[in-house]
Amino acid sequence: MKVCVFGAGAVGGSLATRLLAAGKDDIALVARGPHLQAMQRRGLVLRSGGTELKAEVPVATDDPSTLPPQDLVLVTLKAHAVPGAAAAIARLLAPGGSAVFMLNGIPWWWNHGRPGPVGTLPLLDPEGALWREVGPERTIGCVIYCPCDLVEPGVVVHAGTNHFILGEPDGSNSVRLVQAVEMLRRAGIDGRTSTDLRRDMFGKLVANASGNTLAALTRLDLGALAADPALCDQMMAVMHEVLAVAAALGWDLRDEVDVPAIARRGKPGQRPSMLQDVLQGRPIEVEALFGQVHAFAHQTGVPVPTMDAVLPLLRGLDRALRTAATSPVAPGR
């Protein structure tokens, strides 16, 4: 298959290294900046479980229009960057091709393939570009369990679990879904299928909406959050609220999730993706990980007082990061 990893950063770089090293499919990468330059010069390095995997990168570009049509586009951008890439992703897809959105949190295509509201989610696809250009009918969803960190250009460190749950928006076990999972497995990647991916998304969001966000706000890793009783209580409060929202939407996980165990399992040095972004001065995935769940809560009448308090702080932090990234550097004294 012709496969493009669109946004080959931390998670995308991990996937790309394994896919390229396996040599089973025709792999192209879309990236930018020093990371792209490093991959073009030296290839990719993935450090995981005490081993180091290296792969040459024959095709990598920051201009996706130079690539031929692709059978699969694995979109591994941060959620807030995806709408701006909608037209480029759409142009990459071959007739019959699919885009696998490997995103954190609630995805823009949420309303497709299920009863209820139709159309895109404005918090995640503000201008409707993804719904219009890519189309939810050409979309496969994914829940990622692959903690990675881009420690330097061309070098990714992976620690912990390593599996990807793929699912159709309508819950079907389609041919294209099976083919996408088989492509991952050919590279030794633990690809799995799901007939209820939204349930799987909420299962991960319980931890992500709490640990990611509080780590970003405090700049503490998950180990430090777990060791602080007051912050641990705040994480658990967010978790309980996310579970209540999920239940109101039809996915009741409250008897399946051990909230205290999740809140206390963080290890020193464990930096979730939102904390990595804050430390690098990058925008954060506020709406996908938190804002859209908060919107669901208000739509369904679920009280979420902790989320009510935290969301404005996250949006303020994101605004500050974006402002700093575009402001000219003041001269030194």
Same domain for 231 and 296: yes
Least Cα distance to 201 among 277, 105, 266 occurs for: 105
Structure tokens at 252: 């009741």
Q: Any catalytic annotation for residue 204? A: yes
Catalytic residue among 24, 54, 78, 204: 204
**141 close to 99: Cβ distance less than 8 angstroms:** no
Rounded to an integer, the average pLDDT of 245-265 is 96
* CATH, residue 284: 1.10.1040.10
Please give the Cα distance from 142 to 101 (Å, whole number): 6
Residues 261-295: pLDDT tens digits? 999 988 898 889 999 999 999 999 999 999 999 99
Classify residue 280: in a domain, yes or no: yes
- For the cut 70, the answer to whether the pLDDT of residue 41 exceeds it is yes
Q: Which domain holds residue 265?
A: 199-321
Distances 152 to 16, 24, 35, 44, 79 between C-alpha atoms, Å: 16, 27, 8, 11, 22
Same domain for 14 and 120: yes
- For the cut 90, the answer to whether the pLDDT of residue 194 exceeds it is yes
Which stretches does DSSP call E strand in the chain?
Answer: 2-6, 26-30, 44-48, 51-55, 60-61, 70-75, 93-102, 139-145, 148-152, 155-158, 163-167, 190-194
Classify residue 183: in a domain, yes or no: yes
* CATH, residue 115: 3.40.50.720
- For the cut 80, the answer to whether the pLDDT of residue 300 exceeds it is yes
Classify residue 332: in a domain, yes or no: no
Classify residue 77: in a domain, yes or no: yes
Residues 199-245: pLDDT tens digits? 999 999 999 999 999 999 999 999 999 999 999 999 999 999 999 99
Residues 77-90: pLDDT tens digits? 999 999 999 999 99
The pLDDT > 70 percentage for the chain reads 98
Q: Which of 141, 176, 195 represents a domain boundary (last residue)?
A: 195
Q: Which of 168, 195, 222 represents a domain boundary (last residue)?
A: 195
Same domain for 255 and 209: yes
Same domain for 191 and 206: no
- For the cut 60, the answer to whether the pLDDT of residue 331 exceeds it is no
Rounded to an integer, the average pLDDT of 165-185 is 97
| pLDDT band at residue 332 under the 50/70/90 scheme | very low
Classify residue 126: in a domain, yes or no: yes
Q: Which of 180, 195, 210 represents a domain boundary (last residue)?
A: 195
Same domain for 295 and 182: no
State the pLDDT at residue 328: 62
Classify residue 107: in a domain, yes or no: yes
Please give the Cα distance from 302 to 206 (Å, whole number): 16
Same domain for 63 and 137: yes
Kindly state the DSSP code that residue 69 receives in the 8-state scheme. P
Average pLDDT value over all residues in the chain: 95
Which stretches does DSSP call E strand in 244-327?
Answer: none
Classify residue 329: in a domain, yes or no: no
Same domain for 177 and 224: no
For the chain, the straight-line distance linking the first and the last C-alpha, in angstroms and rounded, comes to: 56
Same domain for 235 and 92: no
DSSP string, 119-134: S--TTTSTTSHIIIII
| pLDDT band at residue 330 under the 50/70/90 scheme | very low
State the pLDDT at residue 256: 94
Same domain for 32 and 160: yes
Residues 214-227: pLDDT tens digits? 999 999 999 999 99
Same domain for 209 and 160: no
State the pLDDT at residue 266: 87
Same domain for 218 and 269: yes
Structure tokens at 194: 């799901």
**212 close to 287: Cβ distance less than 8 angstroms:** no
Residues 42-99: pLDDT tens digits? 999 999 989 999 999 999 999 999 999 999 999 999 999 999 999 999 999 999 999 9
Same domain for 178 and 205: no
Residues 114-123: pLDDT tens digits? 988 899 999 9
Number of domains in the chain: 2
Classify residue 165: in a domain, yes or no: yes
State the pLDDT at residue 159: 87
